[in-house]
Amino acid sequence: MQMERKMLGVRWEEKRTNASIKLPDVLQRIKSSKWSWAGHVARALAKENWYGNIRDWKPSGRRSRGRPKMRWIDDVRRYAGRNCINRSQDRDQWQELREA
């Protein structure tokens, strides 16, 4: 219960019973946190700085055989669409995508 209270931000001074504390679905919370972080990173990538240079960098040489590795941006694009970097600039629209 102590860990659940910590995750929900319930302080012991609030004198709430354990029965009144309901832990939301853990997977849903993880997805929500990941989406928030993805928006934060996508907004940072849209700016002209070293993150954008890293995102656009193409290493020299050949890739190994087999299916390409799943990149972070591929996972975000699966849900947000091709222009996810531009869509992340509007926070309200990004939150709507999170809820969908």
CA 42 to chain centre: 10
Which of the pair, 58 or 9, is modelled with greater confidence?
9
| Alpha-carbon separation of residue 9 from 13, 21, 27 (angstroms) | 11, 11, 18
Tens-place pLDDT, residues 80-90: 777 777 777 78
Residue type at position 92 = D
**Lookup result for tokens 């919370």:** 29
pLDDT tens per residue, range 43-59: 777 666 676 666 667 77
Phi, psi angle pair for 71, to nearest 5°: -95, 165
Rank 17-21, 42-46, 93-97 by mean pLDDT and report only the highest: 17-21
- Report in angstroms the alpha-carbon separations of 62 from 9, 49, 59, 67, 77: 48, 27, 9, 13, 24
In this structure, what token pair is assigned to residue 85? 């970097």
Report the C-alpha dihedral over residues 20, 23, 25, 31, rounded to 10 degrees: 130
